[in-house]
């Protein structure tokens, strides 16, 4: 029999053991809190900005120019993930950071062969090593194991896997499976061939020694070794292995796409630290066309000129294209001019009249006087320094007369006008911060406004007078579509102003008769700031609003370039581009204009064919045809060597293809200089 003293001893020992265990756990918890794993490298990663259809726009590099792009398991081939775990960590979902079976097997293998053959590292341990790189020693391996346990305590298995696929190196300055799939295969890792999967599994272990562009033999051998492991694991059969072995290795890295450089970059920077993908409202096809047009316009207006363009879907307020500059290679090219404060010139006049109509102070046919007049110490004059006598409000707005606009603003009250715009979310900024009262110069561009706000104002005119914020992401667009908006003016007032703006004479040669009959009628207004620093055009038509700005990013003056001459033609080009047939954007850096658009010096590089560009694939109905566009003077058009008839009303070329097929379009100027495009026509 046990001594009566035995039970207290057992209880005392158990108590000591429990206390010791608690003390160890407390010490471990304290050490864990005092020395947490360093996740800063994971935070220094970038999401991918995609267009509305999932096309890649841009991702941001991180320190040292490295492409560390956040993994998105929702956009990663599940078969790749399964095969990765079979090769690297078969018990990933069972262990707590360290796999005792794999560790024991690795230790036995190393002892048997007398050297390090297998590390037995789990995905969690490899992630810990990528977060805190160290020399490969026994102590480093122990620290990795401890860090792996810490990661397992803090993160879910899915988060750890995502972290590994974000940090894993794939050769050169590419980290993460999304960047690797884009760099080596030219597409997202959503769908990968077996050969592509095997290469992506093999590369992180020796990324430089196995780079397929520099060491193809080593890359093939490493890929084959992974395939052999998958065969032994029963994941694939020999036939699939043979097919994967036969896949060609990539010979070179592909450049990362960079459409909507400024906008996509901004949206990527603003994304939360744990967001892998930003789905924007932009349309990559339209964005690419508008960027090409913007670069052409800037080149035609001089080396110092830049261009900004916004295209807004009125129904959802979704931004479909956003060009912040004419390119990073131009002065001020890194400045996003869609968000810069610029003078709108006369582009705010429609809203002066709209509020006057809405308040019952005037009507479209109200008579106004366009004659010299002083308003206190302010005496405006018309742009052409002439006066037109008695005119209607409709005529004054259509012809952008200054004195009548100031007279109407005087009736509305500049403070009331500014307050009405601010109620809709638009902020006007006066050049002198100390100036307390808004002045009558507001009617003529006397306050700064952002292009984004100007676009929102014109979208309100096209949407029955309702103001809503612009939507830059798919999530924001879904929310904006359900908002009632803020009433700027009544629906009938907005329609009256739109009808007047439709009467504005179009730029010379910009609206062929065929487009007037069947295309959207554009209601637009131009603006020119003091010193010709800013040339603007804003318009609505076909369910879209387009705003165009040209000028110098540094605010310098440009001699004689007005909104009508420098911005309105591009406005009409962009409206044409909205209806152009869609083409998948190539996975290359932007600003690679078609050959016909690369030289636009008006001093004489020959004609430049704008639409259709070389290599385009277009759809058309024979009744409507295609309106062809080129820059140059005294142009003659030919299709497959035959002269092309022109529209009798406007003199613009309209081509009605006889049927589907391939055609050569040629435009020749008076000096015999030629531009050509080879296009394919598809029937609708």
CA–CA dist 168, 227 (Å, integer):
20
- Is the model more confident about 448 or about 640? 448
Provide mean pLDDT across the span 249-273: 93
With a cut of 90, say whether residue 531 has pLDDT above it. no
* Distance set, CA 81 to CA 92, 170, 570, 624 (Å): 11, 16, 48, 51
On the CB side of 276, CA atoms within 13 Å amount to 19
Q: State the pLDDT at residue 518.
A: 55
Looking at CATH, the fold of the domain delimited by 595-683 is given as Immunoglobulin-like (2.60.40)
CA–CA dist 523, 423 (Å, integer):
24
Tokens read off for 326: 């004419």
Q: Output the CATH code of domain 40-246.
A: 1.10.3810.10
pLDDT tens-digit profile of 32-79?
A: 565 678 888 888 899 999 999 999 999 999 988 899 999 999 999 999
Of 463, 507, 504, 516, nearest to 486 by C-alpha is 463
Active-site residues, by number, are: 88, 346
Confidence band, pLDDT 50/70/90 cuts, at residue 378: low
Q: State the pLDDT at residue 119.
A: 58
Contacts of 537 (CB under 8 A, 6+ apart): 347, 524, 525, 526, 527, 546, 547, 548, 563, 564, 567, 568, 570, 571
pLDDT tens-digit profile of 283-304?
A: 999 999 999 999 999 999 988 8
Please state whether beta strands 523-528 and 636-639 pair in parallel, antiparallel, or not at all (unpaired): unpaired
- Is the model more confident about 586 or about 577? 577
Share of the chain above pLDDT 90, in %: 55
pLDDT tens-digit profile of 136-192?
A: 777 888 888 898 899 999 999 999 999 999 999 999 999 999 999 999 999 999 999
Kindly compute the dihedral angle of the four CA atoms of residues 641, 645, 651, 655, in this order, to the nearest 10 degrees: -80
CA–CA dist 597, 601 (Å, integer):
10
Please state whether beta strands 277-279 and 48-50 pair in parallel, antiparallel, or not at all (unpaired): parallel
Q: State the pLDDT at residue 93.
A: 93
Give the H or E element holding residue 321. Answer: strand 318-323
- Is the model more confident about 631 or about 648? 631
Q: State the pLDDT at residue 17.
A: 60
Share of the chain above pLDDT 70, in %: 82
Q: State the pLDDT at residue 113.
A: 53
- Is the model more confident about 379 or about 169? 169
Tokens read off for 611: 């639409």
pLDDT tens-digit profile of 480-492?
A: 877 888 999 999 9
Of 225, 267, 366, 336, nearest to 46 by C-alpha is 267
Tokens 């907005």 belong to residue: 494
CATH architecture of residue range(s) 284-578:
3-Layer(aba) Sandwich (3.40)
With a cut of 50, say whether residue 309 has pLDDT above it. yes
Preceding peptide of 353 cis, ω within 30°: no
Query: 152 and 124 in contact (C-beta within 8 Å)?
Result: yes
DSSP 379: -
pLDDT tens-digit profile of 547-565?
A: 999 999 988 888 778 899 9
Reduced to 3 states, what is the DSSP secondary structure of residue 534? strand
Tokens read off for 475: 């999530």
pLDDT tens-digit profile of 625-634?
A: 777 878 777 7
DSSP 303: T
């Amino acid at each position: 029999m046990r001594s009566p003293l035995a039970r207290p001893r057992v209880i005392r020992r158990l108590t000591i053991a429990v206390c010791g265990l608690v003390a160890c756990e407390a010490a471990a918890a304290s050490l864990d809190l005092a020395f947490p794993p360093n996740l800063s490298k994971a935070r220094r990663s970038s999401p991918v900005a995609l267009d509305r259809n999932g096309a890649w726009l841009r991702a941001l590099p991180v320190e040292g120019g490295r492409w560390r792009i956040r993994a998105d398991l929702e956009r990663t081939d599940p078969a790749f993930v399964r095969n990765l775990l079979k090769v690297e960590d078969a018990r990933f979902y069972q262990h707590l950071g360290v796999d005792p079976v794999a560790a024991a097997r690795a230790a036995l293998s190393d002892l048997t062969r007398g050297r390090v053959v297998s590390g037995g590292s789990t995905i969690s341990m490899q992630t810990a090593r990528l977060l805190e790189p160290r020399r490969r020693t026994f102590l480093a391996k122990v620290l990795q194991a401890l860090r792996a346990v810490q990661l397992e305590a803090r993160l879910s298995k899915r988060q750890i896997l995502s972290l590994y696929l974000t940090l894993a190196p794939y050769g050169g300055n590419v980290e993460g499976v999304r960047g690797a799939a884009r760099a080596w295969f030219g597409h997202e890792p959503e769908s990968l061939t077996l050969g592509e999967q095997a290469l992506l599994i093999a590369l992180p272990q020796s990324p430089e020694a196995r780079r397929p562009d520099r060491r193809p033999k080593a890359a093939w051998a490493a890929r084959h070794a992974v395939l052999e492991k998958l065969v032994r694991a029963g994941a694939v059969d020999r036939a699939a292995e043979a097919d994967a072995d036969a896949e060609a290795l990539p010979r070179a890295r592909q450049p990362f796409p960079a459409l909507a450089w400024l906008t996509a970059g901004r949206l990527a920077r603003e994304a939360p630290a744990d967001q892998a993908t930003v789905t924007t409202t932009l349309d990559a096809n339209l964005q690419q066309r508008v960027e090409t047009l913007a670069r052409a316009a800037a080149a035609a207006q001089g080396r110092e000129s830049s261009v900004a363009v916004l295209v807004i879907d009125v129904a959802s307020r979704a931004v479909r294209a956003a060009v912040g500059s004419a390119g990073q290679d131009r002065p001020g090219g890194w400045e996003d001019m869609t968000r810069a404060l610029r003078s709108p010139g006369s582009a705010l006049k429609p809203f002066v009249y709209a509020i006057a109509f809405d308040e019952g102070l005037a009507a479209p046919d109200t008579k106004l006087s366009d004659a010299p007049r002083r308003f206190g110490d302010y005496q405006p004059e018309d742009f052409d320094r002439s006066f037109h006598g008695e005119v209607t409000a409709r005529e004054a707005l259509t012809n952008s007369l200054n004195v009548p606009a100031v007279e109407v603003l005087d009736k509305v009250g500049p403070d009331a006008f500014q307050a009405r715009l601010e109620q809709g979310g638009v902020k006007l900024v006066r050049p002198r911060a100390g100036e307390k009262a808004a002045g009558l110069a507001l009617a003529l561009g006397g306050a700064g406004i952002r292009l984004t706000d100007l676009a929102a104002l014109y979208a309100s005119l096209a949407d029955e007078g309702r103001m809503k914020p612009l939507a830059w992401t798919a999530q924001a667009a879904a929310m904006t579509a359900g908002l009632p908006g803020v009433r700027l003016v009544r629906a009938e007032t907005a329609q009256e102003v739109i009808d007047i703006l439709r009467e504005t004479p179009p730029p010379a040669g910009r609206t062929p008769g065929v487009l007037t009959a069947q295309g959207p009628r554009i209601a637009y207004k131009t603006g020119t700031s003091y010193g010709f620093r800013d040339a603007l055009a804003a318009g609505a038509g076909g369910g879209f609003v387009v705003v165009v700005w040209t000028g110098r990013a540094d605010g310098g003056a440009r001699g004689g370039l007005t909104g009508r001459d420098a911005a309105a033609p591009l406005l009409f080009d962009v409206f044409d581009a909205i209806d152009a047939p869609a083409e998948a954007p190539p996975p290359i850096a932007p600003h690679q204009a078609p050959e016909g658009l690369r030289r636009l010096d008006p001093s004489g590089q020959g004609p430049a064919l704008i639409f259709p560009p070389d290599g385009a694939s277009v759809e058309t109905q024979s009744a409507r045809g295609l309106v062809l566009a080129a820059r140059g003077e005294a142009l003659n058009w030919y299709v497959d060597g035959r002269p092309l008839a022109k529209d009798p009303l406007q003199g613009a070329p309209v081509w009605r293809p006889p049927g589907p097929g391939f055609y050569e379009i040629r435009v020749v100027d008076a000096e015999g200089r030629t531009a050509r495009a080879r296009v394919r026509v598809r029937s609708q």
